[in-house]
Each structure stands twice: as C-alpha cells, then as structure tokens.
Chain A
Amino acid sequence: MNNILVIDMIAVILLLGIGLYTLIVSRNLLRMLIGFEIMAKGVTLAIVSAGAYNGKLALSQTLAVTAIVVEVIFIAVALAIVMLIQRKKGSLDVRKITNLKG
C-alpha cells in the first residue's frame, strides 16, 4: 500500500515537472496548453492516490471527476482564444504577441 503511494507520488512529481518545464520553455501557444494538460493529469493522479491512501475512494473519485470537468472547460476556452490569436496574427509564436509592455 505504502509502496504504491510512493510510486504514485514520484509519478505525480514527474508529471508536474514535465508540465511546468513544457509551459516555461515552449514558444508555441498550443504546446504551452499541452504543458498545462500534463500538469493537470499529474494533479488528477495525486487526488486519486490520496483517496487510495486514506481509504476514502468515493470522495476522491468525485473530486477527480470534478477536476477533470473543470480542466476541460478551461482548455476549451483556452483553445478558443488560441484560435482567435492564430486568425488575427497568423502565427502561434508566443514571441510575436508582445504588444503590452511597461
């Protein structure tokens, strides 16, 4: 039981690290969103394994499903905005959207 939790937590930390790295390093808007998705997957895993650890599986499943729904709504809005940027600018490069400064 405890060993599984340790493995889970290592996986969670790895997913969060990969996601954050992707979010920071990538120059493409879509890749940044993918980075966020990877982080969100890590979080879902963390919630589920937390439920497995303390034995409250029902509650943890509810939380995980809700978290997934919220994440999907977030990503839908984000993709809509990325699509508008692509239409307006014709590019997905993050270095090209720097109108606001100061």
Chain B
Amino acid sequence: MLLAYILVPLLGAAIMPILRKIWQKGTDSVPILVTVYQIIITGWIAYQGIVLNGSLNLERWILDQVLALRLDGLSLVALLAIGLVSFVTVLFSLRYPLDEDRRPGYYALILLAVTGMNGLVVATDLFSMYVFLEIVSVASFILIAYQYDEFGMEGSFKYMMLSAVATVFLLVAVALLFAITGGVSFGELAQGVKTGGPVVFISFAFIFFALALKSGMMPFHGWLPDAYTASPAPVSILLAGIVTKIAGVYTMIRLVLEVFGFNSVFMNLLLVVGAVSTVLGAFFALGQKDFKRMLAYSSISQIGYIMMGLAAGTPLGLIGAVFHFFNHAIFKSLLFLNSGAVETATGTRNFDELGGLAEKMPVTGTTSVIGLLSTAGIPPLAGFWSKLVIIVALWMAGFKFFAFIAVFASIITLAYLLLLQRNVFFGKIKQGLEGIREVSPVVYWPAIIMAAITVFSGILFPLVYDKLLNPVNSLLGLLAK
C-alpha cells in the first residue's frame, strides 16, 4: 500500500513516452487518474483509521531492514495536500497553451515531482530523504524552464545554483551524522545525537541552513520570487503550492521531530528567522507590481508563520504549523490559479495594466476574495484558525513578543492582498480590457474546489482539529523515546 504512493506516479511518468507514440489523447487522462487515486486512497486511509477507529494505524513497509517507509498523521496531511495541489495543477494544465508535442513530457515531469514528494513524505531515513529531495528539485528545474524563454532559464538557473549549495550542505551533514552514529535511519540518528557534542551541533547547523535555503526563508530567499515568476502558470501553482513546502518545511518539521528534538539554540534561531521572514516578506510584497511576484513574497511570509509555529516547541504550536502548512497549500494554489487565469485571459500580470476584472470574470474574482481573506486570517476561513493556533501557541510558550509580530504581519498581509484585489478585480475597467471573458470551466473549477475546501475546513474546524490534526500530536511521543 505504501509503496504504491511512490510506484503509481512513477509508473505514470514512465508510460508517458509510450502513450505519446500510440495514443496521444490518452496522455491527458493519466496524471488526472494518478492524482485522483492519491486523493481517494489518502482520504480512505484517513477515514478508516481516524474516523472509524479513533486513531491512526501506523503503517509500515520494510524491506531488508534498510528501506523502510512509514505513514503517520503528519505524512497523511502532507499526502492529502500533495494530491489536491497536483490535481488542480494538472486540471489547469489541460487548457494551458503548451507545445502539444512536448505535453506528455510535461505531464511526466509533474508526475515525477509527485513521486519525489510522496517518497520524501513516507521515507524514514535521511539519505532517502535526500534522494527524493533531488528528484523533486531536478523535476522542478526542468519545469521552470519548460517554455524555453529567457525568464524561465534564468529562474531555473538561480534555483539550481542555490539548490546545489543546499544539497551539498545537507549531504555533508548526512556524512557527519553517519560517521558518529553508524546509520542513516531516523531511529539510529536519534540514538546517536543524544550524546551531543560539536559534530551534532555542526551537522544540525548545516541541515538548518540547507532547509532554510530550500524553503526560501528570508535571508536566503533570492531564488524564490524569480523561480515562481519565471515559470509557466501551472508550474508556479505546483511550486508555490507544494514543492517548496514539502522540500523545505515538511523536511524541517520531520527532522526536528524525529532526530534533533527541540534544541533550544536552534529553536530560538528558527523563531527569529521565521519572524524576519514573516515581517519582511509581507513588506516586500507590499511594494510589488506583479501579480505572481507579490504572491511569491506572500509565500515567504507564510512560511515564516509555519516555522514560528514549529519553533514554539509545544504540541499546540506543532498543530498550528501543520494546519497552516495544509491551509497554505490550499489557499496559495488558489491564488496562483487565479493569477494564471488572469494571465491567460488578459496576457499580463502587471497591476498598472489590470483593473475591474471582477465584472468580466465573476468566478475568478470571487474565489480570489476567498483566497485572500483566508491568507490574511479572517474568520471563519481556515487561514484564521491556523494563524490563531500559532499565535496562541507562541503566547503560551512565553514568546509574547513574537506573538505580537505574528499579529502585526497579519495586518500587513491583509493590506497587500486588498491592494492586489483592488488593483486587479475591483474598480473601473481599464482600457483595452473590455473584451475580456471568463476563462474556461476547466480553469475555474479547480479554483472553486480549492475555495470550497478553504471555506469548509474553516467552518468545520472543530472536526478537522479533532480528526485530522490531533493524530499529528501523537508524533510528539517520539521525542520522549
């Protein structure tokens, strides 16, 4: 069952070149089937384990005591988010103007990225994590430059070089930990790092640096807006919605929980870096003129929230971080879907050339309002609850100053997103845009799905909290061992 998470998308990617030769029309359906399969199977596991039995049965799959996979509450949330975001990405790509001959290859790369993310989520040793991380990264490098344009290549090259540095540091840390513990699985590493000492400290510092680079936290964010802006619209949905979150944030949460524990030095550092990303990301977003670039800076700011929630070091903080991680995947892919819809309809992303699109594109305008209100944390949408949990957790953990920063950044978030909404959708219609029509249903239905998820997981928050998020907490038991 668990191996299917890795093998099914991989198989889908592998049959793409064959399908391209014999049945080109069928290539559209394969990625849709694979992602729908993932959503259904993950939902089924959650329903079976949590709703019926009250607790999640931890699944394990072990081969020769070397390759071991595991599914727990945290990976369940992540797998659900991967399935949803890749599903809407594929739906959006159906009508996106790509070269028809290269479309199967494009789908194969998306499926390869999904393979890598799924593998990363279920892996139980540091080295497999590194290998899957590289699969995701290489697939995204190619996807960013997929249209052979100058911007794409530049964004891709920047991402590639910074990612290379991150990779090297991660591997050095793996080598150091391997030298002192004699293994790479989380269990062996956790046993080994208990002794402490300078080597453990250095390797955690390297891993921290590598993952901060990968997730685009504030001092290391240089590549992120460029990569998001330069990539084709569907690719930026995938990148912003899930790839960088899985590669950077999920890996960080997993390693902190399973290997390093809440080391006070690094948790304080994470808190400061998270707060800096939250505030500066929001301020940078305020000054942008480009739809996608503003959303990219907003992403940096939201990642800061997740990291602050994790750094609080309490069960409540962890729940907030994981819920915000899931919410961010949903509402950020919703906003990127809308930016893609606006770009396909009008051909531009510049605020100066846009305006008054709400009349012409009612569905896009409405879903975008829902997305921005959720991002800014307005009740009763899902984003409000996760931010509230993070802020309360920070306050209760004694970081009152950082709780204030989180509230403050939330206000700036509302400011820049309202600016976006006013510039693009409200007000008088700009000259030359009178003939714009709503995008095709294939493009706006994904946005409706995402908006519905945001609304319902907000309204049904008590249920989500009990059933989906509390199992995450059982992970904290790992720390006691």
Contacts and interface: CB of A to CB of B under 8 A. Distances in A.
Contact of A100 (B148, B167, B180, B226): B226
B184 A63 contact: yes
A63 B155 contact: no
A66 B174 CA distance: 13
Contacts, number: 116
Contact of A85 (B142, B153, B164): B153
B175 A56 contact: no
A74 B178 contact: no
B148 A77 contact: no
Contact of A50 (B142, B167, B178): B178
Contact of A81 (B141, B172, B176, B288): B141
Contacts of A97: 150, 153-154, 157
A79 to B, nearest CB: 11
Interface residues of B, number: 44
B44 to A, nearest CB: 33
Contacts of B369: none
B153 A100 contact: no
A46 B178 CA distance: 10
A77 B136 CA distance: 13
| Secondary structure type dominating chain A contacts | helix
A77 B226 CA distance: 19
Contacts of B141: 77-78, 81
A42 B176 CA distance: 13
A99 B176 contact: no
Interface in B155-190: 155-158, 160-161, 164-165, 167-168, 171-172, 174-176, 178-184
A70 B134 contact: yes
Interface in A62-101: 63, 66-67, 70, 73-74, 77-78, 81-82, 84-85, 88-89, 97-100
Contact of A43 (B150, B156, B175): B175
A100 to B, nearest CB: 4
B19 interface: no
Contact of A102 (B145, B184, B293): B293
A3 to B, nearest CB: 15
Interface of B: 127, 130-131, 134, 137-138, 141-142, 145, 148, 150-151, 153-158, 160-161, 164-165, 167-168, 171-172, 174-176, 178-184, 225-226, 229-230, 288-290, 293
28 contacts: A32-B161, A36-B164, A36-B168, A46-B176, A47-B171, A50-B178, A50-B179, A54-B179, A54-B181, A56-B178, A56-B182, A59-B178, A60-B178, A70-B130, A70-B134, A73-B138, A74-B137, A77-B142, A81-B145, A84-B148, A85-B154, A88-B148, A97-B154, A98-B154, A100-B151, A100-B225, A100-B229, A102-B293
Q: What are the 6 A-B residue pairs with the smallest beta carbon separation, nearest first? A: A50-B179, A46-B175, A100-B226, A43-B171, A54-B182, A39-B168
